[in-house]
Amino acid sequence: METCMAATCAAATSGPTASIFLQLMQTLLAAQCSLGSDKDYPADRSDEVAGSDIEFDFVIVGAGSAGAVVGRRLAEIDDWKVLLIEAGNNPSAVSDVPAIFLHIQGTPEDYAYVVEPEKFACHGTTTGLCTWSKGKALGGSSTTNAMLYVRGNEQDYNEWYRMGNEGWSYEDVLPYFRKSQNCQDPHRDCTEQGPLSVRYFNYTRNPGYDILKEALREFNVPVLDAINAGKFIGFGDTQSTANNGRRMNTARAFLSPIKDKRNLYVMKSTRADAVLLDGTRAVGVRMTLKDGRSIDVKASREVILSAGSIASPQLLMLSGIGPKQHLREMGISSVVDLPVGKNLQDHITYFGIHVAYENPNVQPQSPMFLLDEAYQYLMYNRGLFASVEYDMQGFVNVTDPNAKYPDIQFHHAFASYRSDVLLKDFLLRLYIHEDIVNAITDILKDKSLICPVPSLLKPKSRGELRLRSQNPADPVRIYANYYTEKEDMETILRSVRFIEKLLKTKVFKRYGAKLHHLDIPGCRHTEPNSEDYWRCSIRHMSMTLFHYVGTAKMGPKDDPTAVVDSRLRVHGVQGLRVIDASIMPTVTSGNTNVPTIMIGEKGSDMIKEDWSVANVKDEL
């Protein structure tokens, strides 16, 4: 901290006013320096590994939402040498600030994958293409995401179990959610003391928040005291993986407490290029260091891929494990023929619903608004910058109002009259075309806005990943295939009709609320509120929620679509597991970061069980 402060305000000053000013500046700089630093994370031991013949018990590729968990849990066994390989570096200080999470997109902490052209989505972006953000740092996408703590519902995991995955029912996985978390929730028993802080955001709500809640109650939609508390239909505030106004990424939660353990070796800015195979047994990993050198490391027990739903299947295919025909086309010898890269799923999200309303009590934000908020954050860890302001969630079934489980998740953005700075910045960070962004923010010249953002929880459409070449540095080709199954678009359309019905409540009528039809250049040939308009709007304003899963599907050996078994071992290969979101047979009903952490916890215990270390179930 002293070093940070010494770099500024070095000039001598005199007088009481100057002294007070200097003291204020030093206080603010000290607060800024309290954000994340390299000292928070394990040291890079790349040179130590590259300059020795160390044989590791386990080599883990990827230190993200799952990989950091696996690294922590395996390193708890002092006799095991554990190597954790990460393509990125330490998280930046900026990533600690919740409100500006979208500003990480397009930086060195983001892979920023570009998806192949989509027929039914992303037409309203600056390039007409979908862009998929993915974290490239210790903590992976837990360093870049919106931090919302959503487990999904019991049906998600019971479905996995019914698909032949023993040990993955809701009852089986619930202890692993609890094992990770350290939470505070007055509405349920929440005494867990795990490493992952789970808290509610704390900030002053936009007035539209209370208006929406009042309308929901009038519409007989449950307003929940807590999400994740056993009721799966309703609206409420979501907890976050944050603490005291700072992001809690998985590297900070799981690796920082053991950063000095000598049996945990972390290599940063290191790209894994292939799994080394001896016949059909994984024996190590080939990697490229930040200086360009290529080295091999050996694993005496297992290689574990936790590189995520894009990089893990890429690494498998580069190693000869994947669809035989596709590998042949790439000039790669097939070792095991498996449907790697298939079964790709994502939560498609629609940003085209905008409810304009009048609220004469709202005053425009002052020109100093953001500076005031920055001061509140740096000094007191509170205010706008300490939150994402999109944590009000809604889970509804727009197809069957009597259903117990949802098919749509609503996120919400709020913007007040003549206060467009934050909304405009948010939309531009999603790569939405500036003409469309201006059409949205123009509404704020006269009205306030509530923007319900529906996400399709259980898409029927399936995408696919394919290699671009044999070069590990080349990104894969991503075919998201959004809305290729017609029922997916029909469900999103029903979410629009749900909002239309909600606007008929007395509450919204009192505020003159109306559904605004955007002037989208590509949809000017349609009539507002017509079926054609909404379908065109959906094609332009639908994009990812960054929840890609399923590309190394978990399933029994007789399932021709499966890549790993229920213990996350790759079919037909010894000593190789995949432990990340790619193993999900179907995407969970909500944000996927916390289920991925759960997979890391459960996969780690499976490894301990299989190597007869301890009766780990007793620890739960």
CA distances from 451 to 73, 139, 396, 423, 515 (A): 41, 30, 16, 10, 10
Instruction: Answer yes or no: are the C-beta atoms of 255 and 268 closer than 8 Å.
Output: no
579 closest CA partner among 619, 608, 614, 558 = 608
**Helices 434-441 and 421-429 sit at what angle, rounded to 10 degrees?**
150
| Stretch (H or E) spanning 284 | strand 281-288
The distance of Cα 135 from the centroid of its chain, to the nearest Å, equals 8
Check if the beta carbon of residue 154 is closer than 8 Å to that of residue 162.
no
Our separate counts of H helices and E strands in the chain read: 17, 25
Q: Which residues pair with 392 in a beta bridge?
A: 237
DSSP conformation class of 362: P
**Pair of tokens at residue 605:** 């215990």
Q: Tokens in use for 350?
A: 């629609």
The strand pairing partners of 573, in sequence order, are: none
Please tell me the total number of residues recorded for the chain in this structure. Answer: 620
Residue that has been written with the tokens 């390039």 in this structure:
127
* Contact present, 470 and 322 (Cβ < 8 Å): no
* Structure tokens given for 127: 């390039």
Scan for tokens 């790697």, then name that residue: 340
Query: Could you give the 3-state DSSP secondary structure of residue 191?
Result: coil
Which tokens is 406 given? 């949802």
Quick one: which of 121, 28, 80, 1 has its CA closest to 378? 28
Question: Amino acid identity, residue 48?
Answer: E
DSSP 189: -
8 A C-beta contact, residue 545 and residue 349: yes
Q: Which two tokens stand for residue 309?
A: 């739903």
| Active-site annotation holder among 354, 540, 547, 571 | 547
Q: Among 337, 272, 271, 331, which residue's Cα sits nearest to residue 303?
A: 272
Say how far residue 380 (Cα) sits from the centre of its chain.
Answer: 27
Question: 3-state DSSP call for residue 546?
Answer: coil
- Secondary structure of residue 457 in the 3-state scheme: coil
Q: What gap in Å lies between CA 197 and CA 481, rounded to an integer?
A: 36
The rounded Cα 18 to chain-centroid distance in angstroms is: 45
Instruction: State both tokens at 380.
Output: 């007191």
> How would DSSP label each residue in 94-162?
GGG-GGGGGGGTTSTTB--EEPPP-SSS-TTBSSSS-EE--B-BTTGGGGTS--B-----HHHHHHHHH
DSSP string, 486-545: HHHHHHHHHHHHHHHHHTTSHHHHHTT-EEE----GGGTTS-TTSHHHHHHHHHHHEEE-
Name the pairing type of β-strands 113-114 and 82-85. Answer: unpaired
**547 catalytic residue (yes or no):** yes
Give me the active site residues, please.
547
